[in-house]
Structure 1
Amino acid sequence: MDTRYIKSDPEIMSGVPCFQGTRVPVQNLFDYLVGPSSLNEFLADFPTVSREMAVAVIEAAKGQLLDHALVA
């Protein structure tokens, strides 16, 4: 997975994977999207995360899922 936008550091949020340069856990993005919220709502609530970052993480997760599905 492309890690340009994700960082896991034991000194930040106890090592939970966060968006690079923020304290926003990547899991928050997926929680928003699985729930009734949109990407725009996520970005409004977490202004330190850029649209580019969020979309790149979604695309990377999609790629991982599709790659895994093709192997199985």
Structure 2
Amino acid sequence: MMDWSTCAAVERDPERVSGAWIFRGTRVPVAALFENLENGIAVGEFVTLFPGVTLGQVRTVLEHAARSAVAA
């Protein structure tokens, strides 16, 4: 399991979205990004579909995931 605690673009609150990791300041789960990418949705379209999530946040999440994968 990936450690999201060091990623500045996300947060977790047990009172919101069942404690899932979400994009900071939103209720959009980080998992939604990866599910949409798997389904062929482009990053730009994801940001359009999920208001409140910024392109910068998406880039930070993807960079964090890439660094974590390399470290594993």
Give me the TM-score of the superposition, normalised by structure 2. 0.88
Larger displacement relative to structure 2 (1-10 or 56-65)? 1-10
Identity %: 34
Asked if residue 48 in structure 1 is aligned to residue 49 in structure 2, the reply is: no
The corresponding residue for 1:58 is 62
Asked if residue 13 in structure 1 is aligned to residue 13 in structure 2, the reply is: no
**2-side partners of 1:15 and 1:32: how far apart?**
20
**2-side partners of 1:8 and 1:62: how far apart?**
20
Asked if residue 30 in structure 1 is aligned to residue 34 in structure 2, the reply is: yes
Structure number with higher relative contact order (C-alpha < 8 Å, ≥ 6 residues apart): 2
Counting matched residue pairs gives 68
Aligned with 2:70: secondary structure? Answer: helix
The RMSD of aligned alpha carbons is 1.0
Runs of 4+ in structure 1 deviating by more than 6 angstroms, as ranges, are none
Shift of 1:54: 0.4
